[in-house]
């Protein structure tokens, strides 16, 4: 991407295709699904470059914490606080309270959400704490989660703590 902010890619043009960073998160979600997991992906972007990427790996790792955003942050490695404060995190699904807590802890100022039709996480809590939350309602994100939830209701309920 070479430092191009996604909004700049679309200036003056109709948005016919997915934001490239949301597409990278979607690619992560598909990788998670292909490896037997829950299709939620995330990327962490700093100055127009992806510095971390991940997907939900609760099933694959037998983990209680490896949601997409948490896995992404883990894979970004240890960063200085000033780095997180300049990042945007992209996620295919609205972040749950645990992932939202990590976003707040590291003061990530902006979250781009692929969809919140199938699950609305702690978006209001993020907003109340000054985080800019943008929900895209991408049809591909919505359909992927609808299909997964219909096929795997027990696993989905486990993932969201129901």
User: CA–CA separation, 37 vs 93, rounded Å?
Assistant: 15
74 catalytic? Reply is no
pLDDT over 70 for what percent of the chain? Answer: 90
pLDDT, tens digit (0-9, with 9 covering 90-100), for 139-148: 999 999 999 9
More confident residue, 14 or 19: 19
pLDDT, tens digit (0-9, with 9 covering 90-100), for 99-141: 999 999 999 999 999 999 999 999 999 999 999 999 999 999 9
Averaged pLDDT for residues 17-23: 88
pLDDT at 66: 94
pLDDT at 70: 97
pLDDT, tens digit (0-9, with 9 covering 90-100), for 31-54: 999 999 999 999 999 999 999 999
Catalytic residue among 7, 69, 115, 134: 69
pLDDT confidence band for 15 (50 / 70 / 90): very low
The answer to whether the beta carbons of residues 32 and 58 sit under 8 Å apart is: no
User: CA–CA separation, 61 vs 147, rounded Å?
Assistant: 23
Strands in 41-46's sheet, in edge-to-edge order, are 49-55, 41-46, 87-91, 110-113, 132-135
């Amino acid at each position: 991407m070479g430092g191009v902010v996604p909004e700049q890619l679309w200036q003056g043009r109709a948005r016919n295709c997915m934001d490239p960073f949301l597409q990278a998160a979607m690619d992560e979600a598909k990788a998670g699904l292909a490896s037997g997991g829950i299709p939620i992906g995330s990327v962490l972007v700093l100055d127009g470059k992806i510095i971390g990427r991940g997907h939900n790996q609760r099933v694959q790792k037998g983990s209680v914490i490896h949601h997409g955003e948490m896995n992404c942050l883990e894979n970004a490695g240890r960063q200085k606080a000033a780095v997180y404060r300049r990042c945007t995190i992209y996620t295919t699904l609205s972040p749950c309270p645990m992932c939202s807590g990590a976003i707040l802890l590291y003061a990530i100022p902006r979250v781009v959400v692929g969809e919140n039709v199938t699950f609305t996480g702690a978006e209001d809590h993020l907003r109340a704490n000054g985080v800019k939350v943008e929900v895209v309602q991408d049809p591909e994100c919505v359909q992927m989660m609808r299909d997964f939830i219909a096929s795997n209701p027990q696993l989905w309920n486990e993932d969201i703590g129901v």
